[in-house]
Amino acid sequence: MLLQIKIFNMKQKIINILQEIRPEFDFAQDINFIEEGMLDSFDIISLVTTLDENFSISIDGMDILPENFATIESIKNLLIKNGVKQ
């Protein structure tokens, strides 16, 4: 149960960060944010900076690829890969 709460908290935190960057979109949807035009390259750079600050990590430059920011799940997986504990 505790793991479920942490996963939900990570997901909600990601959604909140995305909504701060682009408040006009609903990031709770299960769609590809890049393909739908919800995030552009500038947004991704802002997102990387904000994720680094909020999760106390440093996302590797090799990981800054559009597919790693396309969905909540891909962002969550990127965070885990870069050391965020579930």
pLDDT of residue 7: 52
* 86 occurs within a structural domain: no
Structural domain count of the chain = 1
* 7 occurs within a structural domain: yes
* 47 occurs within a structural domain: yes
Q: Which amino acid is at 27?
A: F
Are 18 and 47 spatial neighbours (Cβ–Cβ below 8 Å)? yes
pLDDT of residue 1: 46
Write out pLDDT tens, residues 33-84: 999 999 999 999 999 999 999 999 999 999 999 999 999 999 999 999 999 9
- Domain ranges, residue 17: 2-81
pLDDT of residue 52: 95
Task: Return the CATH number at 71.
Answer: 1.10.1200.10
pTM score: 0.88
* 72 occurs within a structural domain: yes
Give φ, ψ of 72 to 5 degrees: -60, -45
